[in-house]
Chain A
Amino acid sequence: EPEVTQTPSHQVTQMGQEVILRCVPISNHLYFYWYRQILGQKVEFLVSFYNNEISEKSEIFDDQFSVERPDGSNFTLKIRSTKLEDSAMYFCASGRENTEAFFGQGTRLTVV
């Protein structure tokens, strides 16, 4: 059964550094999402991506964040100048038209 895959599973980075979180969505999906979950808190929407552009973003998704689909298979989330409060689980998800979202296993980002 196809799955959304995310790499790495755990990333530790120093405050101020840039990180790129990678996702490979399910191949025939057209809608892509990033969510995050700070420890002990709920899953929060960051950004959705459709037709090679951002379709919606939350107020969390400020200029520090960017997304890219560089080669038709990967879907990346870049976080510039990381802060301690960026430490969280980051989930990628993908879906087809009017279907549920399928989630990756998540990347745990720890900013030290």
Chain B
Amino acid sequence: AQRVTQPEKLLSVFKGAPVELKCNYSYSGSPELFWYVQYSRQRLQLLLRHISRESIKGFTADLNKGETSFHLKKPFAQEEDSAMYYCALNPSGNTPLVFGKGTRLSVIA
């Protein structure tokens, strides 16, 4: 069964501190992994997808197939990073996304 696990419901860090939002997945094939972000009162928007291997807003995420993880990292958190972050798995093509429960990141000044 496909499953995405985000173990932390809430993560609070100080401004300037490093951030790591954890995501583990369960899927037997080679899925595509995404991070979506939802800022306060805004829509879900794509932050990163693993196949593009890019850095967006200072965030990076590396797919570790051995550990079945796709953790989201940023070396120095900013207050504007405060939001809900959802890890999602796409088994293949345009099949529906499977979401984790989300982690609320709170960056404290």
Question: Which residue numbers of A lie inside 8 Å of B, CB to CB?
Answer: 3-4, 31, 33, 35, 41-45, 48, 50, 56, 58, 91, 95, 97-98, 100-106
Q: A31-B94, A50-B94, A100-B49 are in contact. Are A105 and B101 (CB under 8 A)?
A: no
Complex CA–CA separation, A98 to B52 (angstroms): 13
Least Cβ–Cβ distance between B93 and chain A, in angstroms: 6
Least CB separation from B6: chain A residue: A42
Contacts A41-B101, A42-B99, A50-B94 given; indicate if A100 touches B34 (C-beta within 8 A): yes
- Knowing A31-B94, A100-B49, the reply to whether A106 touches B99 (Cβ < 8 A) is no
Please give, as numbers and ranges, the residues of chain B lying within 8 Å of A44 by CB-CB distance.
99
B72-109 vs A, Cβ < 8 Å mask (1 yes, 0 no): 00000000000000100000011111111110000000
Task: Sort chain B's interface into a size bin.
Answer: 10 to 19
- Is A43's CB under 8 angstroms from B86's CB? yes
Q: How far is the CA of A104 from the CA of B86 in the complex (A)?
A: 16
A105 lies within 8 A of B99 (CB): no
Binary interface encoding of chain B residues 22-64 relative to chain A, with 1 for a CB under 8 A from any of its CBs, else 0: 0000000000001010000011111001000000000000000
Closest to B101 in A: A42
How far is it, in angstroms, between the C-alpha of A3 and the C-alpha of B44 when the chains are bound?
12
Docked-complex contact B94 and A103, CB < 8 angstroms:
no
Q: Closest B-chain residue to A45, C-beta based? A: B96
Report how far A106 CA is from B36 CA in the complex, Å.
15
User: Which residues on the A side are within 8 Å of B86 (C-beta)?
Assistant: 42-43
Docked Cα-Cα span, A45 to B2, in Å, equals: 13
List, in ascending order, chain A residues with CB within 8 A of B49's CB.
Answer: 100
